[in-house]
Amino acid sequence: METLAYAFNAVAPILLLILLGYFLKEKMNLSQTFFSELNNFCYRVLLPVQLFYSVYQVESFSEINWRVLGYAMALIPVAILLGALAAKIFVEEREQKGALIQATFRSNQAIMGLPLAISLGGSEAAIIASIATSIGIPLFNISAVIILNAYGEGKEKESGIKRILLGVIKNPLIIGVFLGLVTVLIRYFIPTSEGMPVFTIRNNLPFIYTAISNLSSVASPIMLICLGACLKFSFTKSLVKKIVLGVSMRLIIVPAIAITGAILLKDALRLTSAEIPMLVAFFGSPVAVSSAILVRETGGDEQYASQLVIWSSAFSMLTLFGIIAILRSLGYL
């Protein structure tokens, strides 16, 4: 019973905020434009600040388990290969193959993953989850553009690698993490007085630190509310089998392989309870919301991609509950 309560308490706050966003859109007469602008504010301001704040909490880079991070990033191409294999076997339409492959490897780490990792592991898990986000998002984006261009015929086809790299460099989330890493490096290398850093934001600019902390604390709730408001549930009978396939790849098969592999390699990875929440969030989160937009831009099947986002977001509440309950019962959470 304690295991089920733990899993419920980890997932329920996220679900409630998503439902609140959906309720506000449906019942409170708030426009989609309002939520789109709020979502843009979250993406460009709140989430970068949250990532900066989480990275800023790193006292030393020796605290970060780089082996687990390397393992997580190495699993991305494995997920891509699994998606490509599933697409080859089960999907005939070329414009749907890229959408399925993207759904297999590209999780909603920024909006769903971070809050989940924090819910499961607190501030300690937030640090490694933030680093994983900063590395994972560029890999997700670059991989998605290359794969979708290979299967699509949209205007992005001619944009080339330069546009991809510029997009990564200008990404607000990457900027937030980069600035956080810079502050940690400055704090680490500046000469110290009596064993303490000469200058820190927390000690020397407490008003700025408090403002950053306050913005960071509201980032996840607002992002989840926006996610709920953006969901438009629909059902297309002709796509049902492919939706089941895509959702299963994203929420069951990839998390099972990634988390089981990490547990089997726990000694080699030096895996601790601080990293497990990151792995659950990184591989168990639903399909990234922005994935449908990229499918459209590259000439793929946007309707299929959109339904993968919607139904993976809905069913992730059940699959995450199951994953968390199993890991808790086995003593890994």
pLDDT tens-digit map of 29-69: 777 788 878 878 887 888 888 878 877 877 666 778 899 99
For residues 88 and 213, what is the distance between their CA atoms, to the nearest angstrom? 47
Res 42: pLDDT: 83
pLDDT confidence of residue 197: 62
What pLDDT sits at residue 161?
A: 57
Q: How many whole angstroms from its chain centre is CA 191?
A: 36
Give me the pLDDT at residue 158, please: 46
pLDDT in tens, 214-253: 988 888 888 888 878 877 766 677 788 999 999 999 999 9
Query: Quick check: 320 and 297 in contact, CB under 8 A?
Result: no
Low pLDDT (below 70) residues in the chain? 1, 59-61, 152-168, 191-199, 233-235
Per-residue confidence (pLDDT) for residue 244, from 0 to 100:
94
d(CA 172, CA 62): 26
- Across the chain, mean pLDDT equals 83
The identity of residue 208, as a single letter, is: I
Count of CB atoms situated within 10 Å of the CB of 158: 8
Count Cβ atoms below 10 Å from residue 71 Cβ, excluding itself: 19
